[in-house]
Amino acid sequence: MNRLLERQLKRSGVEYSALPESVRRFVDEVGRSYDHHDADRALTERSIELSSQELVEANRRLAKEAKNQAALLENLRSAIAALSSGDDPVLLPAGFNAADPVALSDFLIQQFTRKHEAEETVRIYEMAVRSTSDGIVISDATRPDNPIIFCNQAFLQTTGYPAEEVIGKNCRFLQAEDKDQPGLQVIREAITNRLGCHVRIRNYRRSGEMFWNDFRLSPVFDAQQQLRFYVGVQTDVTADVMKQELATTLLAQRQELLHVAEEILAARTETEIVHTVVHRLGNLLPYDTASIYMTDAAAGVLRPIALLGPRWTSPDLDAWTIPEGTGIIGSIIRSGKGELINNAHRDPRSRYPDGATIATEHLVVHPLRTGEYVWGAFAVNRMSDRQFTDEEFEVLQFLASYGS
Ligand SMILES: Cc1cc2nc3c(=O)[nH]c(=O)nc-3n(C[C@H](O)[C@H](O)[C@H](O)COP(=O)(O)O)c2cc1C
């Protein structure tokens, strides 16, 4: 390759082999033009010794070269024009010598590098938008009611909607009927004032399931400061909100438990203890029946000594006893270990009084002991779909140990 051209490419930081085929062809032509130029200079230096025949030939070659040069210039100009696009025109700077092929080829290489870098940047943005786990939507702020013109895969995944049910709509469909939220007023004001905002709102997936949306909105202005788009970013923070709510509930529960513990310790009679536990139990967790069973060793049975909450529809409940060591209660008194038994009605150990119809029962049973001796059990049940959680199991264990 011509040495001058080689130096030019090096200065521009362009790797010849990295150039596209079309640009490489122009660069080759520029190289050939430089070679001829070098040859002509050598010829001029020798001109004094030239014969007239050589001069005629040199003239002819120069005329041909001029024609080649014109074609080369034309090619370079059309290559520059081809790099131009509507929103990113490539314009020659003022005072630029458009008849100089070296300057033109320099400019072409420079513009090519710039375009290449810009395309690379767009590719990186696209990758980021595609791979983020946050939902991203873009609305056209120049059209009435901000219709959505783009949404990423994460938005579709979070909301459960297919793209064809999203594009062209205003994003408020995510609120379903839940319009009474202070965050929505913040969004409205931001849009009226062409500002951004950050709010936490309740939204609904296509399935109807609620999710907490940590939502950020940003306006996008063009070079003339005209509002063109809004970008909305949705982060599903449902799990975090639930954890916070659970932590708050647990804290309140712990405080309530301490009150109960104090009252139990202050109680003077068994009846007072039972009253305290049962009175407070409703504040700690929802339940249907709480019962305390005691072993009647002489009769070889377990007897309920306290039964509270909505009762089973058994007429003989108060008189109901369980043969010692049988049923779920009996097995827990025997093992001395508390159990959480969701779907207890399906447990093979379960025994119900005659005439009782139990469709669903979830149970937590803890043994009541004095020292090593297990003298009874504390059982709490629910007859709804709501199962007991591990936290509720612990709360009841705490009550049982204090009750003991
Ligand atoms: C780009 C963009 C994204 C939005 N994304 C959400 C969204 O994820 N959830 C939502 O409840 N509202 C979203 N909104 C807000 C609603 O579209 C609407 O502006 C809001 O409900 C207040 O207006 P309204 O009172 O007319 O419904 C978004 C708005 C824009 C412009």
Please write the tens of the pLDDT for every residue from 210-244: 999 999 999 999 888 999 999 999 999 999 998 88
Mean of the pLDDT values across residues 248-270? 78
Return the structure tokens found at 276.
Answer: 């305290």
Could you identify the atom of ligand 1 that is nearest to the CA of residue 137?
Answer: 1
Side-chain half-sphere exposure of 4, counting CA atoms within 13 A: 13
Distance CA 41, CA 35 (A): 10
pLDDT band at 184 (very low <50, low <70, confident <90, very high): very high
Distance CA 104, CA 27 (A): 11
* CB-ligand 1 contact for 184 (6 Å cutoff): yes
Q: How far does residue 171's CA lie from ligand 1's centre (Å)?
A: 5
* CB-ligand 1 contact for 203 (6 Å cutoff): yes
Mean of the pLDDT values across residues 395-403? 79
* CB-ligand 1 contact for 139 (6 Å cutoff): yes
Which residues are CB-neighbours of 141 under 8 A, at least 6 positions away?
A: 219, 220, 227, 228, 229, 230
pLDDT at 162: 97
Rg (Cα) of the chain, in Å, rounded?
42
93 SS3 class: coil
Q: Report the 10 Å Cβ neighbour count for 253.
A: 18
- What domains lie within the chain, and their CATH numbers? 3-129 (no CATH), 133-236 (3.30.450.20), 242-403 (3.30.450.40)
Looking at the predicted structure, is the pLDDT value of residue 59 above 50? Answer: yes
* CB-ligand 1 contact for 211 (6 Å cutoff): no
pLDDT at 284: 79
Question: How much is the ipTM here?
Answer: 0.99
Could you identify the atom of ligand 1 that is nearest to the CA of residue 188?
Answer: 22
Is 382 buried (19+), middle (13-18) or exposed (0-12) by CB count in 10 A?
buried
Which residue, by CA, sits nearest to atom 25 of ligand 1?
A: 188
Bridge partners, 212 (sequence order): 202
| Mean residue pLDDT across the chain | 85
Residues 45-81 as b or e (16 or more Cβ within 10 Å = b): eeeeeeeeeeeeebeeeeeebeeebeebbebbeebbe
Looking at the predicted structure, is the pLDDT value of residue 313 above 50? Answer: no
Is 200 buried (19+), middle (13-18) or exposed (0-12) by CB count in 10 A?
middle
Return the structure tokens found at 75.
Answer: 């090619």
Long-range contacts of 107-110 (CB under 8 A, 24+ apart): 107/80, 108/23, 108/26, 108/76, 108/79, 108/80, 108/83, 109/9, 109/12, 109/14, 109/19, 109/23, 109/27, 110/12
Please write the tens of the pLDDT for every residue from 315-367: 455 567 888 889 999 999 999 999 999 999 999 998 887 777 788 999 999 99
Q: How far does residue 172's CA lie from ligand 1's centre (Å)?
A: 5
* CB-ligand 1 contact for 166 (6 Å cutoff): no
What is the percent of the chain where pLDDT is above 90?
35
Q: How far does residue 246's CA lie from ligand 1's centre (Å)?
A: 29
* CB-ligand 1 contact for 158 (6 Å cutoff): no
Q: How far does residue 224's CA lie from ligand 1's centre (Å)?
A: 25
* CB-ligand 1 contact for 154 (6 Å cutoff): no
Q: How far does residue 227's CA lie from ligand 1's centre (Å)?
A: 17
To 5 degrees, how large is the angle CA 223–CA 228–CA 231?
115
Q: What backbone torsions phi and psi does residue 370 show, to the nearest 5 degrees?
A: -120, 110
Distance CA 15, CA 106 (A): 13
273 SS3 class: helix
Q: How far does residue 152's CA lie from ligand 1's centre (Å)?
A: 16
Q: Report the 10 Å Cβ neighbour count for 170.
A: 12
pLDDT at 366: 92
